[in-house]
Amino acid sequence: MKSIRILLICLIVFPFIGVSQILKNIDEVTPFHEELAAVRKGDKWAFINTKGDIVIDYREDLVKSKTKNKTTSYPYFSDGRCLITQKINGIVYYGYMDITGEIVIKPEYLNATNFDNGHAIVLKVSKEELGRNDLLDKKVVSYSYDEIVIDHLGAQKTFLIGPVHLVYKKDRLRKPPMIQSYFLSPNLVASKSKDSGWQLYTLNSSN
């Protein structure tokens, strides 16, 4: 009888030892990438570690990216970088944050891929002043973009395609321009242009 009382006391004092609810009311939970997994509440995403602790709080600037199996899309880390966006004057720009949530490559690209073996492919905008319209008293400006490879700090490594003429208005950039290149291997990129078809580039080469 005494042993039964001790057992009941233990059950009251230590209920369900080893089982606890960490997060609740989550709309979506994704697989782990580099020991971090994205979780969603409404339109905001956060990242948790393998213990279930939120290490990057909920935010709206994370980019849903296709995974390698191309069947699902959600924010994830690759090479310690995760895609983010920022809208400036109605136009969306892409950049990257690190595993602490700090922006390490500022959003300045019209489109960008996830990092793969230390490199990513981005579309970088260029602006050229052609002259001045005296009648309207304003500068005549032309915009274009180049498709380039950058390293994990944002430094340009290889030029791929460009310049591609750009109508630099928010109503014409509701969707980002398509990236025409992809990594064949850690040091080899395939690019397709309208004029010259497919080209192969090795990283760090002169093009």
Query: Whose structure tokens read 């340009």?
Result: 156
Burial of 64 (0-12, 13-18, 19+ CB in 10 A): middle
> Is 123 contained in some domain?
yes
Q: What is the pLDDT of residue 15?
A: 52
For residue 85, CA distances in Å to 24, 49, 96, 193 come to 27, 23, 8, 26
- DSSP-based three-state secondary structure for 191: strand
Q: What is the pLDDT of residue 66?
A: 86
> Is 26 contained in some domain?
no
pTM confidence score:
0.84
> Is 84 contained in some domain?
no
Range of the domain at 158: 113-207
CA 162 – CA 149 distance, rounded (Å): 12
> Is 90 contained in some domain?
no
> Is 188 contained in some domain?
yes
* Average pLDDT along the chain: 87
- Quick check: 206 pLDDT over 50? no
Q: What is the pLDDT of residue 159?
A: 95
CA 32 – CA 4 distance, rounded (Å): 44
For residue 121, CA distances in Å to 6, 69, 147 come to 65, 19, 7
> Is 105 contained in some domain?
no
What is the domain count for the chain? Answer: 1
Q: What is the pLDDT of residue 19?
A: 53
Sheet of 156-166: strand order equals: 82-88, 91-97, 103-112, 119-133, 138-151, 156-166
- Quick check: 70 pLDDT over 60? yes
Give the lowest-confidence range in 13-27, 70-84, 148-162, 163-177.
13-27
> Is 169 contained in some domain?
yes
CA 91 – CA 110 distance, rounded (Å): 8
Backbone angles phi, psi at 20, to 5 degrees: -145, 150
> Is 41 contained in some domain?
no
